[in-house]
């Protein structure tokens, strides 16, 4: 078995999905090899000779090795200006190295001038002409090198973990190459983005003949089944990262990603993709989480633990207070009564918590109620104050343009942020996209959003006329220009955003 994480995603930590899958396969006696083609491919582009035709590009190319080293050095993170320059220069080199292919490769995304990851026809075109992909010189050498050394067997399976739109075109280019070079392989495609595609209303597989198996949701049981093993009764298995290049990621030390649950324990917010796609909440027992993290930390010596849950459950937060982790940690949590307790927040700090990502969405109580967020603004204020006083950073997420919001409501969000500016370390500002599926979509006047068969969103007519153009105008002309907001936004680590933000928390 050969599992691949394709370009392009932020190369700051290893892919947790294939690490978990490989551990399960090996626990059942199935040999498994991992390839983080995202990290390797980006480093390949950064290291290959490239001609620059402007001063910035020439300087960035000349200093690219130093810039990469700077992103792996904690001292860089003590100087936001030095950090921003390193990120900008590395990103510039990637763009210059890929431009002849018609694509723009970056540290966090991949865009093509004529192909869209939202159109199945374009993905098939990428598979038909893999040599046009900027990573082709890398994967056309690396894949045969690895596949020719795989153990023989009745079934030779290659699985791709496709989670983000920025990976889609490169994934299909790699699949197309494998189909041409190794026609006897069984190719499996799974991951978060594939799951969302397959949960779209009226889904019909456009990739038959190219991909042998599409997997929605967890891949352990389907992969074991392909290998002739019934894995439905298997117990919990600790993920395995040791076969990945742990010291090569662009972070100041190894970041250990870990999922303590799938789905969301709250699971009631309007327009939530987890609820719309029917993804149930499955937590790993807290005792096993703590045992896993202790064992993984002893093997990998992480600089930071990244808890990947959609929202860390109150039960796990309480266990973390009682049993501190062996390294600093951060993750998503919900505004809740536990965090409204100042003593509890101090306990979280002692447990190693350096930052929490919190989804507030709106600073208007009526909007929160209509979105079924289960958040009371008075409680949210106490949470922010408690976290600041405990020394825990806050990365706050806001969502504008929902059907529940009007322009006056958005201004109340601005007022809330301004009042709590001392307690908010970082901000993520997003404009609402209406998902194509889910009960919450019913009753809204929808219209085509993208001319694409794989789009996960649809356009809609806002019931109060608060359309996307007005929302953008408000964010750029008013919200972002507010002095309190602007000072927070300036702290956001460029491109890596929340993945590197914990290293900037005092």
Residue 15 or 271, more confident: 15
- Entry field: residues in the chain: 506
User: Mean pLDDT throughout 200-221?
Assistant: 92
User: Mean pLDDT throughout 168-175?
Assistant: 98
- pLDDT score recorded for residue 258: 97
- Across-strand partners of 187? 158
348: phi then psi, degrees, rounded to nearest 5: -60, -40
In this structure, the answer to whether residues 209 and 305 fall within a common structural domain is no
pLDDT tops 70 at residue 17: yes
In this structure, the answer to whether residues 112 and 39 fall within a common structural domain is yes
Per-residue confidence band for 233, with pLDDT thresholds at 50, 70 and 90:
low
Domain that holds residue 31: 2-226
* % of the chain beyond a pLDDT of 90: 79
Judged by average pLDDT, the poorest of 117-131, 183-197, 232-246, 266-280 is 266-280
pLDDT tops 50 at residue 152: no
In this structure, the answer to whether residues 12 and 61 fall within a common structural domain is yes
How many Å apart are CA 176 and CA 275, to the nearest integer?
A: 34
User: 45-58, pLDDT tens digit by residue?
Assistant: 999 888 888 899 99
pTM: 0.94
Per-residue confidence band for 403, with pLDDT thresholds at 50, 70 and 90:
very high
Task: Give the list of residues 6+ apart from residue 353 with CB closer than 8 angstroms, or none.
Answer: 320, 328, 329, 330, 392
Task: Give the list of residues 6+ apart from residue 205 with CB closer than 8 angstroms, or none.
Answer: 214
In this structure, the answer to whether residues 273 and 192 fall within a common structural domain is no
In this structure, the answer to whether residues 86 and 163 fall within a common structural domain is yes
- pLDDT score recorded for residue 150: 58
pLDDT tops 50 at residue 154: no
Question: pLDDT averaged over the chain?
Answer: 92
Instruction: Report if residue 243 sits inside a domain.
Output: no
- pLDDT score recorded for residue 276: 65
pLDDT tops 60 at residue 370: yes
Instruction: Report if residue 129 sits inside a domain.
Output: yes
Judged by average pLDDT, the poorest of 78-92, 386-400, 449-463 is 449-463
Residue 346 or 445, more confident: 346
Judged by DSSP in three states, 41 sits in: helix
DSSP annotation string for 451-481: S-TT-SEEEE--TTS--HHHHHHHIIIIITT
Residue spans of beta strands (DSSP E) within 114-259: 157-161, 186-190, 213-214, 255-258
In this structure, the answer to whether residues 204 and 333 fall within a common structural domain is no
Tokens for 78? Answer: 């003590």
Judged by average pLDDT, the poorest of 48-57, 267-276, 394-403 is 267-276
Q: Which of 172, 207, 226 is the last residue of a domain?
A: 226
Instruction: Report if residue 233 sits inside a domain.
Output: no
Rg (CA), the chain: 23
Count: domains in the chain = 2
pLDDT tops 80 at residue 354: yes
- pLDDT score recorded for residue 234: 67
- pLDDT score recorded for residue 155: 47
User: 53-106, pLDDT tens digit by residue?
Assistant: 889 999 999 999 999 999 999 999 999 999 999 999 999 999 999 998 999 999
pLDDT tops 90 at residue 149: no
In this structure, the answer to whether residues 288 and 393 fall within a common structural domain is yes
Instruction: Report if residue 245 sits inside a domain.
Output: no
Instruction: Report if residue 232 sits inside a domain.
Output: no
In this structure, the answer to whether residues 222 and 264 fall within a common structural domain is no
Instruction: Report if residue 237 sits inside a domain.
Output: no
- pLDDT score recorded for residue 227: 86
How many Å apart are CA 340 and CA 396, to the nearest integer?
A: 16
In this structure, the answer to whether residues 111 and 165 fall within a common structural domain is yes
Cα dist. 3→13, 73, 131 in Å?
17, 30, 22
pLDDT tops 50 at residue 433: yes
- pLDDT score recorded for residue 443: 65
In this structure, the answer to whether residues 299 and 400 fall within a common structural domain is yes
Judged by average pLDDT, the poorest of 31-45, 113-127, 255-269 is 255-269
Task: Give the list of residues 6+ apart from residue 196 with CB closer than 8 angstroms, or none.
Answer: 273, 277, 456
Q: What is the CATH number of the domain that holds 395?
A: 3.80.30.20
In this structure, the answer to whether residues 48 and 157 fall within a common structural domain is yes
- pLDDT score recorded for residue 153: 45
Nearest to 382 by CA among 328, 414, 330, 344: 344
In this structure, the answer to whether residues 260 and 141 fall within a common structural domain is no
- pLDDT score recorded for residue 50: 84
User: Mean pLDDT throughout 472-486?
Assistant: 97
User: Mean pLDDT throughout 389-393?
Assistant: 98
pLDDT tops 90 at residue 488: yes
Instruction: Report if residue 246 sits inside a domain.
Output: no
Per-residue confidence band for 437, with pLDDT thresholds at 50, 70 and 90:
confident
Nearest to 192 by CA among 11, 337, 5: 5
Instruction: Report if residue 456 sits inside a domain.
Output: yes
- pLDDT score recorded for residue 438: 65
- pLDDT score recorded for residue 458: 83
């Amino acid at each position: 078995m050969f599992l691949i994480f394709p370009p392009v995603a932020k190369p700051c930590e290893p892919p947790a999905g294939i690490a978990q899958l490989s551990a399960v396969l090996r626990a059942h006696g199935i040999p498994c090899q991992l390839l983080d083609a995202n990290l390797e491919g980006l480093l390949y582009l950064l290291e290959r000779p490239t001609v620059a035709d402007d001063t910035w590009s020439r300087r960035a190319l000349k200093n690219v090795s130093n810039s990469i080293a700077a992103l792996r050095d904690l001292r860089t993170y003590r100087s936001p200006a030095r950090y921003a320059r390193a990120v900008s220069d590395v990103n510039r080199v990637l763009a210059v190295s890929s431009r002849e292919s018609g694509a723009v490769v970056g540290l966090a995304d991949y865009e093509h001038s004529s192909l869209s990851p939202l159109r199945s026809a374009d993905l098939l075109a990428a598979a038909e002409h893999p040599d046009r992909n900027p990573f082709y010189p890398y994967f056309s050498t690396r894949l045969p090198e690895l596949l020719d050394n795989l153990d023989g067997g009745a079934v030779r399976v290659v699985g791709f973990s496709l989670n983000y739109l920025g990976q889609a075109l490169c994934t299909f280019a790699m699949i197309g190459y494998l189909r041409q070079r190794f026609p006897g392989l069984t190719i499996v495609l799974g991951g978060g983005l594939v799951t969302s595609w397959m949960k779209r209303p009226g889904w019909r597989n456009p990739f038959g003949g190219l991909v042998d198996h599409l997997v929605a949701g967890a891949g352990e049981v389907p992969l074991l089944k392909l290998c002739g093993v019934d894995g439905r009764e298997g117990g919990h298995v600790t993920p395995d990262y040791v076969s990945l290049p742990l010291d090569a990621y662009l972070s100041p030390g190894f970041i250990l990603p870990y999922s303590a649950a799938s789905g969301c324990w709250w699971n009631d917010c309007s327009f939530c993709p987890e609820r719309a796609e029917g993804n149930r909440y499955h937590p790993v027992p807290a005792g096993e989480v703590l045992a896993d993290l202790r064992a993984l930390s002893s093997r990998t010596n992480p600089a930071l633990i990244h808890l990947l849950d959609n929202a860390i459950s109150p039960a796990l937060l309480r266990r973390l207070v009682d049993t501190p982790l062996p390294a600093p940690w951060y993750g998503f949590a919900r505004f809740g009564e536990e965090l409204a307790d100042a003593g509890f927040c101090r306990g979280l700090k002692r447990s190693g918590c350096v930052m929490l990502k919190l989804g507030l969405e709106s600073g208007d109580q009526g909007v929160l109620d209509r979105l079924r967020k289960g958040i009371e603004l008075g409680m949210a204020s106490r949470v922010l104050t408690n976290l600041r006083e405990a020394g825990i950073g806050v990365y706050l997420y806001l969502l504008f343009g929902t059907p529940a919001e009007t322009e006056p409501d958005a201004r109340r969000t601005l007022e809330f942020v301004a009042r709590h500016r001392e307690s908010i370390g970082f901000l993520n500002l997003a404009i609402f996209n209406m998902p194509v599926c889910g009960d919450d979509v019913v009753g809204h006047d929808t219209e085509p959003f993208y001319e694409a068969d794989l789009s996960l969103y649809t356009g809609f007519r806002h019931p109060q006329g608060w359309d996307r153009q007005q929302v953008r105008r408000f964010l750029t002309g008013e919200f972002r220009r507010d002095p309190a907001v602007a000072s927070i936004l300036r702290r956001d680590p460029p491109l890596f955003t929340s993945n590197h933000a914990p290293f900037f928390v005092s």
